A and B are shown apart, each in its own frame.
Chain A
C-alpha cells in the first residue's frame, strides 16, 4: 500500500528472523522445570492472555450463528445458541455484500499474482550486486521507504492516470512493497553462487538460473511473501476508501466499515430492523454485523494454517532440532 506513508511493518522482520533461526538451527535448551508457583504463574498468565484474545472473537462467531432473540437476551454467549444460518443467508442474498466480496477476491488473486511476478524478478536482478549501477538501483527502491509524497499528490496522480473509481487501483497501488522486495533480494543473495556457476558454465542464462535454481530454493519464502501480499490485499481498506467513491466498486472491507460504523450508531440510537432484500428472515442488526465480520475473516482463516506452518514450526524447528 502506498498511502499514507509506507510504514515499516513487523512482517518482514519476522520472516527474516524466522528464516535465520531455521538456518542456524542451534540446539537450544529445553526449559528447566521451574518451581511450582512459577509454573502456575507462567501457565496462568499465558492462559489469561490467550483467553483475552480468543473470547471476543468467539463471541462474535456465536452471535453470527445464533437466533436474533437469543443474542439480544444473552449477549455474552461463547457458543451459538439456537443455532441458525439466517444471518449468513441474509449476506448471500444482499447484492452489495456479494459484489464487494467478488471485488475483494479479484483484487486479492490478481493483485497477489502481479505482486509476486514484479517483486520476484526485481529481487533476483537486484541480488546480483555486481551489475553496473546496482547501488543506484537499490537506492531507487529504498528512497520510497524513507519519503513519500503523501496522500494528496498520490490522489492527483491516480486521477491523472484515470485510476479513480477503477478496481485496478487496488491492484496497482501497492504493486511492489520495498520491504518484501528487499527481503526476497536478501534471500536470493544468500544462495551460494556456486550453485548457479555450474549452470552458467553449461550456458544457462540469468532467466534460466532464476527459474531453475533460485526459485525452487526459495519456495517457502516465496509462499510466505505471497501470503503476506494476499492478506494485505484482502485487508486493504484505505486504497478503496481514498480512491473509490462509487460504492458499487467498493471492496468488502470498505462495505464492512460502513456496516460496523452504522451499526454502532444504531446501537446508540436503539435497534432498528434491517431493511434488506430478504424481509422474511428474522435477523437483527447485531446478527448481520457479526456475520459480516466472520464473512470477511473466513479467507484469512483458510490461509492461516499455511502462515502458521511457516512461523510456528519455523520457530519450533529452530529451537528443538539439533
Chain B
C-alpha cells in the first residue's frame, strides 16, 4: 500500500526531527516523541493481550489437557494429538471440504464482479446505474445470520423456489439438505451476497485507465470487445492480482459464518470445514487439545499461504499487502 504515496514524504517531519542536531541519542528522540508512543500504546496493549498472549495456549496442542490440572500442569504428549488428527478419516475430509469450497468460490466468484463492473461501466443513465449499485451493494452489509434467513426462505422446503416448483406440478427439491447441492448453494449464495460490493474496486480502478488509449484504439478501428480485451482488462490487472492473492491467502477459511449457518446433519459430510470442526470439537465437545491442534495446523498453513501470496505479488511488481 505504501508504494502509492510519494517516497519523499517518508522521512517525515523535518521540523520535529530537529535537523540541527543529528547526533541526538535514540533515547532523547524517543522522549521527544513520547506523545506519539502514548497514542500507540492502547492498541499495542490490545494486540499483546489478545493476539500474542493466547500463543501460550498453543501448548495445549502438545498436551493431554486435563481440566482439573489446568493448562500448565497437564502432561506433555509430544505430537500425539497431531498423529491422532492426521490418522483420523475425518482429517482428509475436512481438508477436502475446506479447499474445494474455497476453490469453487474462487473460480466462480472471481469473474462475476469483474463482468458486473464492466457491464455497469457501459451504463449511460446515471439514475439506473445508481439504483443498481444501491441494491446490489446492500447484501454485503447483512450478516450471514440474516442472509441465511433469506436463503432458507428462498430455498427451504416451503421456500419460494419450491412453491414455484410445486405449483408447476414438480416435486419439491430439498436444496438445503441435499449433499450434492450443498457446495453449489454455498458458492451461489455467497456470490449473490458479495458480487455487487466486489465490483467496487474494479469500478474505482476504471477511471484510472488512460482515456487516450481508448481514443487511439478507436482510431485504429478496434471494436468495443477488442477495447475491453486489450485496454480495460489489462488496466484492471493490478486489482485482479490483489483480489486473487487475497483469496489465495484465505484458502483455508472457506467462510465460517456462511457454512456454519447453512450446515446441517444431512450436509455435514460435504460441508464440514476446518473452522466449523474446531468449534464443534473444541467448544461443544470440549476436546480442547484436538481442536487446538487443528487450529494450529490451520494457522501455520494459513500463514504460509499468505506470505507466499504476498511474495508472488511482489515478484510480479504489483502492490503488495504489506
Binding site for B on A (CB under 8 A): 2, 4-5, 7-8, 10, 13-14, 16-18, 20-21, 24, 26-34, 38, 42-43, 45-46, 49-50, 52-54, 56-57, 59-60, 63, 75-76, 117-119, 121-122, 124-126, 128-133, 137, 140-157, 172-173, 175-176, 181-182, 186, 189-190, 192-193, 196-197, 200-201, 205-207, 210, 231, 234-238, 242, 253-254, 256-257, 260, 263-264, 267-268, 289-290, 292-293, 296-297, 300, 304, 307-308, 311-312, 314-316, 318-319
Name the B residues within 8 Å of A24 (CB-CB): 207-208
**9-residue interface stretch from B8-16, B86-94, B178-186:** B8-16
Which A residues are in CB contact (< 8 Å) with B50?
Answer: 2, 154, 157, 172-173, 175
Beta-carbon contact of B10 and A129 below 8 Å: yes
Q: Is B203 an interface residue (CB 8 A)?
A: yes
Q: Does B283 contact A (CB under 8 A)?
A: yes
Residues A315 and B203 in contact, CB atoms below 8 Å apart: yes
Q: Is B222 an interface residue (CB 8 A)?
A: no
Q: Told that A141-B43, A238-B260 touch, could you supply 11 new A-B pairs with CB distance under 8 A?
A: A4-B256, A5-B252, A10-B197, A10-B198, A56-B150, A56-B160, A57-B150, A121-B42, A122-B43, A151-B279, A315-B204
Q: Which residues of B contact A119 (CB under 8 A)?
A: 43
Contacts A132-B29, A152-B278 given: A16-B35 contact, CB under 8 Å?
A: no
A-B contact pairs, 5 of them (CB 8 A): A2-B50, A13-B243, A130-B17, A150-B292, A157-B54
Minimum CB distance partner of A25 in chain B:
B207
B282 touches A151 (CB 8 A): yes
Q: Which of B2, B300, B302 contacts A186 (CB 8 A)?
A: B2
Contact (A59, B195) CB under 8 Å given A31-B124, A189-B5, A210-B39: no
Chain B interface, DSSP helix/strand/loop, else mixed: helix
Residues of B within 8 A of A13 (CB): 201, 242-243, 246
Our pick among A8, A50, A132 for the contact of B30 (Cβ within 8 Å) is: A132
Q: Which residues on the A side are within 8 Å of B196 (C-beta)? A: 53
Instruction: Decide if A59 touches B253 in the complex (CB within 8 Å).
Output: no
Cα distance A45–B197 in the bound complex, in angstroms:
17
Residues of B within 8 A of A125 (CB): 36-40
Return the chain B residue nearest A245 by Cβ: B283
Interface residues in B246-298 by Cβ distance below 8 A to A read: 246, 249-250, 252-253, 256-257, 260-261, 275, 278-279, 282-283, 288, 291-292, 295-296, 298
How many Å lie between the Cα of A176 and that of B42 in the bound state? 10
Neighbouring A residues of B33 by C-beta, 8 Å:
128, 131-132, 206
Determine which residue in B35, B143, B243 has the highest number of CB atoms from chain A within 10 A of its CB, and name it. B143
Chain A CB within 8 A of B158 CB: yes
Q: How far is the CA of A315 from the CA of B132 in the complex (A)?
A: 14
A300–B141 contact, CB under 8 A? yes
- Contact in complex: A42, B123 (CB < 8 Å): yes
User: In the complex, are the beta carbons of A312 and B208 less than 8 A apart?
Assistant: no
Q: Min CB distance, A304 to chain B, in Å? A: 7
Asked whether, in the complex, the Cβ of B123 is within 8 Å of the Cβ of A143, the reply is: no
Closest 10 CB pairs between A and B?
A150-B295, A153-B57, A122-B43, A235-B143, A130-B12, A125-B40, A144-B51, A28-B207, A149-B54, A125-B39
Q: How far is the CA of A177 from the CA of B158 in the complex (A)?
A: 40
Known: A46-B123, A53-B136, A122-B39. A34 touches B224 (CB 8 A): yes
Is the CB–CB distance between A156 and B57 below 8 Å?
A: yes
The answer to whether A130 and B11 have CB atoms under 8 Å apart is: yes
B37 nearest CB across to chain A (Å): 7
Q: Once the chains bind, are A34 and B122 in contact (CB under 8 Å)?
A: yes
Q: Are B46's CB and A176's CB within 8 A? A: yes
CB B228 to nearest CB in A, in angstroms, measures 11
Residues of B within 8 A of A26 (CB): 207-208, 211
Q: Within 8 Å of chain A (Cβ to Cβ): is B312? A: no
| A311 touching B137, Cβ below 8 Å | yes
Q: How far is the CA of A322 from the CA of B136 in the complex (A)?
A: 27
Which residue of the partner chain, among B55, B141, B149, contacts A256 with CB atoms under 8 Å?
B149
